[in-house]
Structure 1
């Protein structure tokens, strides 16, 4: 959904990993009748973002066969095994090259309780606070979803392979607005995580 009252926002959904601890593509796990990646794509499409982009890698062909990508662009990270930051940089590079965005919002494909309301709140919070970063707090950390204005694009592109985008948050806490999102700590890395999500006994 495009809204001219807000800065041009691009959402990057990171969905390139091979879910090594789970043993199958967590992007395609079902939750409440939808696949996790489809949930993320649909939420992004319903938000105040202007363009949405998904970064694929492992399981790329399988995912393409099972997910509706009509509302977003796909880019591929051939080096997905190098970690999340490599996928983030592939997505950010595509955003910079193809779209005149003022800011990006980074999402994962396995945080099932992210909502369009949360994404919209992050976009509105940036506009009101004028901060360069809007991050979510859950547990004892800050993390995704996270919004960065374009003044941080270069720093994000310079992250080393094993450094996550979280490093940029902590480098600039004075320029970071924080939104409490306790359910953000729920992500799916193992079968036990998935069983708990579905309400099954471990």
Structure 2
């Protein structure tokens, strides 16, 4: 898929429930923002943007070549970041890999599988448990529809059953929202002791 896709890293959140920036937690000495941007870079996208907000000044030097785009409205929810991503990639017609920073089980193998299975007829999403979401490979027209989203709505609001191809990875259901999540991740060796 070299150069045939673009990528978006969603990293603007304020980690309100955690009470500290999850983007700056480390795994093997590497920040989570740095780790996910390195994983994305391994897929060789044509253009990579990282939507930053709450901790922008701490993130910009840790994005492995991703272009930071500041979201001044990050407190309003994910939709504002998706609007900026759509604006930043307007006019580009290839698929778009979308990731977040707090899925500790994410690896290059899963990203490559998503890209490999994406045939352009529908969005290719990660399935975990009963849900489906990011990481995902979106058609350019799906990303363009982000302007219709509001608040904390993500792309799930745009998908119906026939709009997506699901690639199962139940390990990606676990993310970081609370100190208990952090403690479990440290115990599992997925995060450094902070």
TM-score (normalised: structure 2)? 0.89
2:101 is the counterpart of 1:102 = no
8 Å CA contact 2:117–2:124 kept in 1: the answer is yes
Q: Which residue of 1 aligns with 2:192?
A: none
Match of 1:19 in 2: 15
Deviation string, structure 1 residues 109-168 (Cα, Å, up to 9, x no partner):
1112111221111111013xx432001111111111111112323322211223221111
Of residues 87-96 and 35-44 in structure 1, the stretch that sits farther from structure 2 once superposed is 87-96
Question: Which residue of structure 2 lines up, in the alignment, with residue 180 of structure 1?
Answer: 168
For 1:40 and 1:70, locate their aligned partners in 2 and report how far apart those are by CA, in whole Å: 9
1:151-198 CA-partner distances (Å, limit 9, x unpaired): 3233222112232211112x3x21311100111111111111011001
The Cα shift of 1:71 comes to 1.5
Give the alignment's Cα RMSD to 1 decimal.
1.7
5+ long unaligned stretches in structure 2: 189-194
* Alignment partner, residue 199 of structure 1: 187
Q: What does residue 3 of structure 1 align with?
A: 2
Give 5+ residue unaligned stretches, structure 1.
none
Distance 1:113 1:35 in 2: 14
C-alpha separation between the residues in 2 aligned to 1:36 and 1:3?
24
Q: Is the 8 A contact 1:89 1:157 kept in 2?
A: yes
Deviation at 1:3, TM superposition (A): 2.1
Contact 1:131-1:177 within 8 A present in 2 as well: no
The alignment partner of 1:154 has SS state of helix
4+ runs deviating over 4 angstroms: none
Decide whether the 8 Å contact of 1:39 with 1:112 is kept in 2. no
Contact 1:111 1:184 in 2 (8 A): yes
Q: In the alignment, which residue of structure 2 is the partner of 1:153?
A: 143
- What is the rounded CA distance, in whole Å, between the counterparts of 2:139 and 2:101 in structure 1? 21
Q: What is the TM-score normalised by the length of structure 1?
A: 0.86
The residue number in structure 1 matching 2:191 is none
